[in-house]
Amino acid sequence: HLQIVLASRPDGRPAPANFRVARAPIPTPGEGEVLLKILYLSLDPYMRGRMSAAKSYAAPTQIGAVMEGGTVAEVLESRQPGFVAGDIVLSHSGWQSHALAKGDQLRKLDPAAAPVTTALGVLGMPGFTAYAGLLTIGQPKPGETVVVAAASGPVGSAVGQIARIKGARAVGIAGGPEKCAVVRDTFGFDAAIDHRAPDFAAQLAAACPDGIDVYFENVGGKVWDGVFPLLNTFARIPVCGLVAQYNASGDFEGPDRLPVLMRQVLSKSLLIRGFIQREFIAQRPDFEREMAAWIASGAVKYKEDIVEGLDRAPEAFIGLLEGGNFGKLIVKL
Ligand code: NDP
């Protein structure tokens, strides 16, 4: 029974030494519990927040504790009615090879309905984040321009594709020409811009001739600087993530730009609203129904980046924060 635990808290970019491999005996399920063998582990940007002691919307992982994370697992042994050995379930078992769970912490998956890895991506938390944040806060209308960065990832790719289903134009931002090609050709965005290009802001402006009506904020940093002057009156900005600054330590450098931001919020009647996907949990059944139908019809495509071996989770996760992944990052155990 292998586990990856948090060995120390990173200062800035996480390093492999912040993680440690631990071994423990395979646990025995008690009454009402099942024993799980983890098949797939989801790696997500929020895990950087759990590594830090800074106050956030969720408690930090304790030093020495198993890193948390969403997982797809097989039931090895069940002492919980409704589950039998061989069932495939969605659980939140973290970075380890085996785990115990209670029945109410599990959702059964039907491997015949969809590849089980999609429960960690397009049909799971990231897909739901895109759906709920875009439709509830962003509210794209036909003909409007929707911009999203990290556009080849699970959240961004779903945002652009749902925007197009709603009749809006989708402009994606991604790191490098290969990712941009997938954003355009596989995910069907109207345009894709490389945020590493020296003339990124000019290219973004050219791709948004009518300005930006919805900016789905995934990254912050330079991308925000390019987007900000293009925002239209009544633009909506769901603030979903700020991955460009998750590794930042201490105070941010530079002049205080808050007065400029607030002036535009007022004069352009901007709506800027942060959210954590769980707030919208009541929409989950609608999401599951609609997203499954969009995948079946081909209106939504997805891309997964599968890394083999739990021992590779730390390096894969470190890369995720810098664009090393190409699609939904999943570890196959
Ligand atoms: P991704 O798989 O898209 O991975 C993150 C991507 O961010 C990288 O691949 C990289 O793509 C991009 N990135 C990293 N640094 C920068 C930078 N400096 N400038 C521009 N882009 C950068 O992640 P997810 O789709 O899982 O998540 C996307 C965002 O959504 C994250 O911010 C995450 O924290 C947030 N999120 C929020 C939730 C909520 O409830 N609020 C729930 C789930 C996710 P590239 O190479 O293209 O630059």
- CATH number of the domain within which 103 lies: 3.90.180.10
Cα–Cα–Cα angle for 77, 82, 87, nearest 5°? 50
Q: For residue 255, what pLDDT is reported?
A: 85
Task: Assess whether 173 and 244 both reside in one domain.
Answer: yes
Work out the number of other CB atoms within 10 angstroms of the CB of residue 280. Answer: 19
- Residue 277 is given by DSSP the state G
Which atom belonging to ligand 1 lies closest to the Cα atom of 244? Answer: 18
Task: Assess whether 328 and 238 both reside in one domain.
Answer: no
Q: For residue 55, what pLDDT is reported?
A: 86
Domain membership of residue 114 (yes or no) is yes
Q: Which of 243, 247, 318 to mutate to test the pocket of ligand 1 (most atoms within 8 A of CB)?
A: 243
Task: Assess whether 192 and 249 both reside in one domain.
Answer: yes
Task: Assess whether 231 and 266 both reside in one domain.
Answer: yes
- Residues having CB closer than 6 A to ligand 1 are 44-46, 126, 129, 149-150, 152-156, 174-175, 179, 195, 218-219, 221, 223, 240-241, 243-244, 275-277, 320, 322-323, 325, 329
Distance 27 CA to ligand 1 centre (A): 35
Domain membership of residue 212 (yes or no) is yes
Domain membership of residue 66 (yes or no) is yes
Look up the CATH number of the domain holding residue 195: 3.40.50.720
Domain membership of residue 256 (yes or no) is yes
Query: Is ipTM over 0.85?
Result: yes
Q: For residue 249, what pLDDT is reported?
A: 76
Task: Assess whether 163 and 257 both reside in one domain.
Answer: yes
Cβ contact 216:148 at 8 Å: yes
> Which residue range forms the structural domain that includes residue 160?
125-280+289-293
Location of structure tokens 């293009």: 230
Cα–Cα–Cα angle for 151, 295, 330, nearest 5°? 55
Which residue's CA lies nearest to atom 45 of ligand 1? 175
Task: Assess whether 243 and 133 both reside in one domain.
Answer: yes
Task: Assess whether 71 and 130 both reside in one domain.
Answer: no
Task: Assess whether 102 and 246 both reside in one domain.
Answer: no
Domain membership of residue 298 (yes or no) is no
Task: Assess whether 139 and 275 both reside in one domain.
Answer: yes
Q: For residue 254, what pLDDT is reported?
A: 79
Q: Which of 218, 246, 321 to mutate to test the pocket of ligand 1 (most atoms within 8 A of CB)?
A: 218
Q: For residue 132, what pLDDT is reported?
A: 98
Helices (H), 20-173: 47-51, 125-132, 154-165
Which among 117, 154, 145, 299 is positioned nearest to 232, based on CA atoms?
A: 145
Task: Assess whether 100 and 49 both reside in one domain.
Answer: yes
Our count of domains for the chain comes to: 2
Task: Assess whether 186 and 84 both reside in one domain.
Answer: no
Distance 305 CA to ligand 1 centre (A): 14
Domain membership of residue 106 (yes or no) is yes
Task: Assess whether 34 and 166 both reside in one domain.
Answer: no
Please list the ranges in the chain whose pLDDT falls under 50: none
- State which H helix or E strand residue 236 sits in: strand 231-239
Cβ contact 234:252 at 8 Å: no
